Structure 1
Amino acid sequence: MLKNYLKIAIRNLQRNKVYASINVLGLALSMSCGILIFALVKHHLSFDNFHNNSDRIYRIVTEQHRDNISYSFSVPNPLGKAFRNDYTFGEKVARICTFDDQLITVKQGNEIKKFKDEEGVAFTEPEFFEIFNYPLLQGDKKTVLSEPNTAIMTEKAAKKYFGDENPINKTFKLDNRIEFKVTGILKDLPANTDRRTEIYTSYPTLKSYNEWAASDDSWGGIFSSMQCFVLLRPGISPAQVEKVMPAYVKKYRPTSKNVHHYKFQPLAEMHFDARYSGPMDKKNLWVLSFIGLFLIITACVNFINLATAQALKRSKEVGVRKVLGSVRMQLFWQFISETSLISILGAMVAILLAYVALPYVNTWFSSQISINLVSDWQLMLFIVSLIVVVTLFSGSYPGLILAGFQPVLALKGKLSQQNVGGFNTRRTLIITQFAISQVLIIGMVIIANQMKYAQQSDLGFQKDAIVTVPIASGTDLNKQKTLKNQFAALSGVEKTSLFFRAPASNSNWSTSVKFDNRAEDEVFRVNVKSADEQYLSTFDLELVAGRNIFPADSMRECLVNETFVRKLNLKSPQEVIGKNVSMNGGNSSGPIVGVVKDFHDRSFHEEINPVCITTLAENYDSYGLKLNMANAQATLASVEKIWTQAHPDQIYEYQFLDESIAEFYETESIMLKLIQAFSGIAIFIGCLGLYGLVSFMVTQKTKEIGIRKVLGSSIGSIIWIFGKEFSRLIMIAFLVAAPLAWWLMNSWLQDFKFKIEIKIDVFILAIASTFVVAALTVGYQVIKAALMNPMKSLRSE
């Protein structure tokens, strides 16, 4: 029986190649998106799930309660040691301090090779590798990092730095300052971990690299490079441990208004919690999953529309089968077998499309997602389930319609549109397609507008034509000033400045502040921008009161922004001029000499923070160069030559400021690309659905068109018969899509403190584009029907 079903199904599809091709293409596009989205979601849900006892691994994080609440995945440097010594909650406790973008030098004979390691170097306590499952291929896990100036690295890193030689006991230098000996080799890191650092060094050596970070007395601040991980003992809950953590605040920070709340973040949440810099917010996965579901529903709707449009053509076939003894269930399963064949063909094409698109998805997400049907049983099960669901969802309704034909009416050709479900069913399906497409179009336009707003709005400073060049590690202040003057002498350089962090940066130094010799620190923290007197002119920052700072190498005076003044509840910027501020626990102080107009010091996701600009030269880490873009390439080449001559043992790099600001919205850029792609696919699949409906309408209205033309109807009036039908469907779909899209996108915009308003023109654009797409899709068939010879129309059966 099954063999017979398949044989007949193949014959029917061969006779209706256009019908079969449209269905296969629609299902293939939607299923390929479903496969890619499934692989992407599965990949992210698997992050760090390979560690032993993963349900007991936690990271200690900090909630900082001030005038508002902020979150940090770091803790004060001594906290890990104190927790290990004071309590028995932790079976293992490990601190790890990671420094990104580090210079690694390796001596090979008389040659010194230089490498820039973007993932950096981590100073690590040995227990880190007892908490996490990063297998050691060479060396003893208990002793590899027990001595100072020892290091372990992954196979990949060892290959990079030492080639095919045995890396054990080889040496390398970090930042041209500290030499390490390799004592162990780690297995390469899996793709599904957020820990990408490939070089781990002994924790005691941190004191030689950064004395403050290594200090067990530095409770006064949080260093973003420092993290602390804990493997809790069996039966211990994080809530139990969090109850004792306030003791550290009372003991080590009794007078601070910056109240720390130390929390235990489960390993399973680290990848998804955006508050603590989790790279993938779970809501994005939900959005992608729903888009995939909508695309599959859209393709199934197409199938149903096309199948029912074809049903009348097969009515006599069904009538003959029933007269010869076929029962209703046999006819139903006959149609299901045809549907399953189309679904299987669609899935095969979808797999090929998914393989072709996978490199682009990995590039967009900076991921290493793989599709392997042989080894990935979950993906294989998903594809099989998808075929089954699509087959049953798409084939059941048309199958029941076909199987329910009355044989007498079918053989006489007396079946009407009511016998194949009527227009109302197909109208509902088309409205669903239009609504999904319009939601995606509205979402795409709003995301694009928000991105444009963030990129083109006045940030309060100059971001175009500004290049930042790093100050080489270990460069003294005199050499910094010498290089700055050499850069300034270049004809293509208009302004230069030395500073720590550009006006807008993801990495900042925030500290407590005391105003006008008050007894206590303010409830807010201040974002400190260490910079010379050229900072304002280089970035076109505007003074609203007072004057600019004078040249100095330490904090003699400072500038603050308007938000700083507002946080003090003062009415006028003039009121702070001449008043003293003390920062960083009283280590830096000086009078306020000017107030700068507010500028965005972070992304549009965040409010503008209180800012203090002062001359703390010991913190400078960058040169800022404002270029004349008329001859930028030659100028950049000259800058590189000067920098390289001054630092032959370093690796030169630079970045345009507008590019670094664009990185603030990397996630949004990825989502915009994906929604653009998915919207295009949804619209294309929707066009196939329209084709199905107009085919049905033209078939049913052939004689009506002929009669109208004989009675004198114009071509325009005949076209309007179809036009009003689709216009009504589009308007109903819009009434469904508009409020849903507004709610979804308004929720999305809540992540931005500075955002666009959702205006009516977005909705006008969505509905107008839908009308245009619909008109282009149905236009040919409608005009062809309107131009048909009425004699031919009236003779049609």
Structure 2
Amino acid sequence: MFSNTPMEELEGDLLEDYLGNYKKYGRTRANLYYLLDLLRLISLIPRSRRNTQKSKTMNNLFLFNLKYSFRSIKKHSVYQALNIASLTLGFTCFSLIYLFVFNHYQKDNFLENPEGIVRLNIIRDGNESMGIHSGIPYLLKKDIPEIERMSRMSSLVMEVSFTGNPDSFTEQVLSVEPDFMDIFQLETVLGEPFPKEPATVLLSESMAAKLFSSPQEALGKELTLTYNKKSRKKHVAGIFRDQPINSSYSPQIINQLGNYDRFSGLNGGLSVSLSAYFKLQKGTDRNALAQKIPENLKNYTDKESHLSNTYVFRTLNEIKNNPKISSGFIDSLDTQTVLIFKIVGLVILLLAVANYVNLTTALTLKRTHEVGIKHAMGATKHNLISQLLCESFIIGGISILLSGVFIAFLLPRIESYIGLQMQLTANMQTWLIVLSILALFVLVALASLYPAFLFSTTKFSQLLKGKSEVSPKSKLLRTSLMAMQFAISTFLIVGSLTFLKQLQFINKSHNLDHLSNVIIVSGKIGDKKRAIEHRLASLPEIERLSFASFAPGPVDYGRSGLGTDEFKESFGFYVIDEHFLDLMGLSIAEGHGFYTDDRNKPNHVLMNQAMVENVKEGHPLGKEFKLYGATQSKVIGIVENFPIGSLKSQIEPALYMQAALDEYLPGMIKKVAIQLKPENRVASIAKIESEWNKIFPEQPFQAEFMDDRIAKIYTDELKMGQLFGIFTGVAVVISCLGLVGLLTYLIQIKMKEIGIRKVLGASAGTLTKLLTLNIWKVLLLSSLISFPLSYHLLEDWLTSFVYRTEVSSELFILTILCFVLIVGLAVFWQIRNAIKINPTEVLRND
């Protein structure tokens, strides 16, 4: 336009406007208007050089894009709803897992020198434990200058009550030494900085608020701490500040450690083992320091039981990442579990993004007429890209908003379920949330670039016909995305099936099918064994019962260690009666069990198969050993190995003593195993409780089913496995949504071929094969990729169990069948629509 306008005319027009403004407004405003006219003229020059006239509405105006994007989303609401659902599921799951993992890694970052806080562990016969001879920490603190602080610690779960309130609860009570407060940076806000007197304790702010109206009122109040039926009165001497949310430890009650000086001699006959924490100087090589300990102890003892061990300093980070060496004082989580969840979170996000790309590509292929018309109206490549990106940002924004709502709803429930807080500290919340939202928007924008560029570069003549050319590279990309989705989903399904198989193995190993109607009643039986046996045996709801010092599950009562020169290592011993093995479903491998008549002898004992391997010489059956008391104990039978605790630990050597007589070890009988008849178990337990309260009015009735008791030692595995199963279900749903997108895409690009084949008489089966053959190839390819990787990762996870199942071939076959069913259901709806296509509607475009 400007090329046909003489420059003199432009200059004349500018001068004429300037003179008119000069007379009307004066020099200053006339100069300003002249400058604005000149700038407008310059801005029009590039537009005049275009070869075609562009429509004013196609100039990529923000409001136009926004308005048109909402219209387009509404028009294609079904596909966009699938997109929103996929992204919302992916963002929600990834964010929850991300918070969980982030919370774990940022624990204890408030400490000045977390690497300097260590616990001394001992490795004996390949087994690592935290119990250290009570005298060793003092000697190390005295002789090693790199140790700044030292505190021994004892942790016990006690019953807590206070005067004026009949209610009580259990809480972990730490018995420590003064340096403990400095090592773990515990700040006292009221009262004494440490309990100076044995009869005083410190409470956390939250514990003081729980027990009393305020921390100030708690000072000087009296508490009662009860452990193993022994009660002690304690006065509150001080209040210490609650630890931050991101702390791996949160003590509530701190007590003064008792006097263990009489057990501190390394050459003494009696000893006590305690946990010991140290604060090392910055820059100290803790590994080199630990290697010097045996040499240092030579100055105080020549006993090989102290000098032949390996000592290691474990940091807080090592303890919180290894439940096997954690003590309960420090929250721990297996690094393998954290790694699995990191992988699951990442792959779910990748699934959602890949699904979004496929669905968006399929949707834009349905809009080729629309894109052709926009080209005819003057839309440029930039216009089309900005339009599709605007729609993507709206979809992404809605998905992020919905994800935030779901996270706010689910987070407290997941926290309560897994027993971990995943909240952020106040100074991290704002920037982390903003950064996460920006990252998700960037991810959506990057995922949108491919479909946007695909259609902005399509030939104009093809777009007017409603067709789009498919390049080999774009086909390869979409096939790769679908293969990745299938591979990830296949891995998660195999993982879930493996977890279920291991759970079945656990149930079988603990014989839970046989013990489904068995309850365990805990209490101090003492010399009332015959009385409770007489009352309970008369109840028709009870099939049989047995008395013992223990029950499989969490270790609580009746277990100690013994060791003599005739055995390679120490072992556990338990007291049982003649009915115990039969009630628990255990078999005698060799010899015989305890008799039910007067043939029983007080010195008869049974051993498990692991104990047989513990004997130094010969086979123990029929032999006598000096085990308990002055009388030699005779081994009359070998019991099959049976896990008392978790299958993650080796079944330890165990010896079973007889409890046939009331006067024989009366203090160790603390469990009653009762097998109920399956009818109306609730009423049966109520009757048992009534009889129990008549005999033991001072003891609360504590009963639990065997399957619940066993589940307690696998709490983390069960919870994590259920969450893993939920995330697996989400991943499969996202993959199915992606499958719908791929089928939609295939139908769009094969529309003409489908029409021609229908005209030529193609059957529904032929069309189904045409549309799904590529999907089955992709499924086969993804299986070949994911199965070896799944096998390797799951074998690595199963190694955490000493006794475990195997990753067998039937799991992969079942996974394939499962996915064939899922794919079949997912494609049915789309194939049905494709078969119903009217050929005339397709072919008339050409």
> 1:302 is aligned with what amino acid?
N
Structure 1 residue 443, shift from structure 2 partner:
0.8
Deviations 1:636-674 (A, max 9, x none): 334434544555555442222321212222222122212
Is 1:73 matched with 2:124?
no
Is 1:580 matched with 2:580?
no
Q: Is the contact made by 1:13 and 1:20 (CA closer than 8 Å) also made in structure 2?
A: yes
2-side partners of 1:480 and 1:106: how far apart?
A: 33
Q: Is the contact made by 1:459 and 1:600 (CA closer than 8 Å) also made in structure 2?
A: no
Correspondences of 1:152-551 after superposition (within 5 Å): 152-163=202-213, 166-175=217-226, 176-204=230-258, 226-247=274-295, 254-256=303-305, 259-277=308-326, 279-319=332-372, 328-329=381-382, 331-370=384-423, 376-377=429-430, 379-413=432-466, 415-418=468-471, 422-457=474-509, 459=511, 463-472=515-524, 477-479=526-528, 482-483=531-532, 486-488=535-537, 490-503=539-552, 505-506=554-555, 509=559, 511=561, 513-514=563-564, 516=566, 522-532=567-577, 535-548=580-593
**Which of these two proteins has the greater Rg computed from alpha carbons?**
2
SS of residue in 1 equivalent to 2:218: coil
2-side partners of 1:644 and 1:379: how far apart?
A: 56
User: Which of residues 136, 143, 146 is equivalent to 2:196?
Assistant: 146
2-side partners of 1:480 and 1:49: how far apart?
A: 53
**What is residue 88 of structure 1 aligned with on the other side?**
145
Deviations 1:564-618 (A, max 9, x none): 213337675xx442231448xx999744343222222332223322111236837
Structure 1 residue 730, shift from structure 2 partner:
1.6
Structure 1 residue 789, shift from structure 2 partner:
3.5
Structure 1 residue 497, shift from structure 2 partner:
4.4
> 1:568 is aligned with what amino acid?
V
SS of residue in 2 equivalent to 1:447: helix
2-side partners of 1:188 and 1:485: how far apart?
A: 51
Q: Is the contact made by 1:460 and 1:598 (CA closer than 8 Å) also made in structure 2?
A: no
Residue 447 to residue 576, structure 1, CA distance change in 2 (3 Å): same
> 2:257 is aligned with what amino acid?
Y
Structure 1 residue 504, shift from structure 2 partner:
5.1
Q: Is the contact made by 2:129 and 2:325 (CA closer than 8 Å) also made in structure 1?
A: yes
Residue 458 to residue 107, structure 1, CA distance change in 2 (3 Å): closer
2-side partners of 1:264 and 1:465: how far apart?
A: 46
2-side partners of 1:362 and 1:17: how far apart?
A: 35
User: Which of residues 624, 635, 640 is equivalent to 2:672?
Assistant: 624
Correspondences of 1:518-667 after superposition (within 5 Å): 522-532=567-577, 535-548=580-593, 556-568=603-615, 572=619, 575-582=620-627, 590-614=633-657, 617=665, 620=668, 622-629=670-677, 630=679, 632-645=681-694, 648-667=697-716
Residue 776 to residue 746, structure 1, CA distance change in 2 (3 Å): same
Q: Is the contact made by 1:36 and 1:354 (CA closer than 8 Å) also made in structure 2?
A: yes
Structure 1 residue 178, shift from structure 2 partner:
1.6
User: Which of residues 833, 840, 844 is equivalent to 1:784?
Assistant: 833
Structure 1 residue 140, shift from structure 2 partner:
2.0
TM-score by length of 1: 0.87
1-side partners of 2:803 and 2:209: how far apart?
A: 46
Q: Is the contact made by 2:512 and 2:706 (CA closer than 8 Å) also made in structure 1?
A: no
RMSD between aligned residues: 3.5
**What is residue 130 of structure 1 aligned with on the other side?**
182
SS of residue in 2 equivalent to 1:417: coil
2-side partners of 1:385 and 1:552: how far apart?
A: 79
2-side partners of 1:155 and 1:483: how far apart?
A: 44
1-side partners of 2:630 and 2:249: how far apart?
A: 35
Structure 1 residue 15, shift from structure 2 partner:
3.2
Range 666-675 or range 632-641, more displaced: 632-641
Is 1:47 matched with 2:97?
no
Range 431-440 or range 153-162, more displaced: 153-162
> 2:622 is aligned with what amino acid?
I
> 1:9 is aligned with what amino acid?
S
Residue 435 to residue 609, structure 1, CA distance change in 2 (3 Å): same
2-side partners of 1:330 and 1:339: how far apart?
A: 14
SS of residue in 2 equivalent to 1:478: coil
Residue 620 to residue 749, structure 1, CA distance change in 2 (3 Å): same
Structure 1 residue 358, shift from structure 2 partner:
1.7
Structure 1 residue 401, shift from structure 2 partner:
1.4
Residue 398 to residue 552, structure 1, CA distance change in 2 (3 Å): farther
Is 1:104 matched with 2:160?
yes
2-side partners of 1:86 and 1:482: how far apart?
A: 58
Q: Is the contact made by 1:435 and 1:737 (CA closer than 8 Å) also made in structure 2?
A: yes
**What is residue 809 of structure 2 aligned with on the other side?**
760
Deviations 1:270-314 (A, max 9, x none): 211133036311221121121111111111112211222233344
2-side partners of 1:51 and 1:624: how far apart?
A: 47
1-side partners of 2:740 and 2:401: how far apart?
A: 24
**What is residue 62 of structure 2 aligned with on the other side?**
3
2-side partners of 1:61 and 1:712: how far apart?
A: 79
Structure 1 residue 548, shift from structure 2 partner:
4.6
Structure 1 residue 778, shift from structure 2 partner:
1.9
1-side partners of 2:304 and 2:513: how far apart?
A: 36
Q: Is the contact made by 1:61 and 1:75 (CA closer than 8 Å) also made in structure 2?
A: yes
**What is residue 698 of structure 1 aligned with on the other side?**
747
Structure 1 residue 52, shift from structure 2 partner:
3.7
Residue 587 to residue 403, structure 1, CA distance change in 2 (3 Å): farther
> 2:486 is aligned with what amino acid?
F
Is 1:682 matched with 2:731?
yes
1-side partners of 2:841 and 2:371: how far apart?
A: 27
Is 1:62 matched with 2:122?
yes
Deviations 1:303-342 (A, max 9, x none): 2112222333444554555566655455434433332222
Structure 1 residue 166, shift from structure 2 partner:
1.5
The total of aligned residue pairs comes to: 768
Structure 2: tracts of 5 or more residues without a match: 1-59, 659-663
Residue 260 to residue 463, structure 1, CA distance change in 2 (3 Å): farther
Give the fraction of aligned pairs with identical amino acids, expressed as a percent.
24
2-side partners of 1:435 and 1:689: how far apart?
A: 13
Structure 1 residue 17, shift from structure 2 partner:
2.2
